[in-house]
Structure 1
Amino acid sequence: FWLAEWMRQFRDRLGPAVLEAQKRFSDGRWSTDVTAVVPLDEAMARLPAELAKPNGKVFIRP
């Protein structure tokens, strides 16, 4: 899934809704479960185990 290409194709129809969703995440009205924050230098070793967990997302930080 390539977000930039999708936004170009559907900008007029879905763009405002996408921007509103981004605002809701950024201002805290919406949230998502993050099960782990993994430093980039540990990603290759830790990602398989973290991604095997049933719920939540894994954030890779620089």
Structure 2
Amino acid sequence: MARDLDRPRRLHRTDWMALLSGILFIVLGILILTGSITDALILWPVTVVGLGFAGLVAILAKVIRSK
């Protein structure tokens, strides 16, 4: 048990793509359940743009980490 206290704690990197995609789908689910979004012609572009934004943030985070 004492050995575990001496070792530095390992931290993992944030997976921005997964985090932002999850938040996007939770928000879209809430909007659909509350009736704020009822048209699929609005839902698909919002989903594609949101996933594109999440991908862009993930790529930028990877580039910044590699420096």
TM-score for the superposition, normalised by structure 1: 0.31
| Structure of greater Rg | 2
Highest RCO, 1 vs 2 (Cα 8 Å, sep ≥ 6): 2
TM-score for the superposition, normalised by structure 2: 0.29
More strand by share: 1
More helix by share: 2
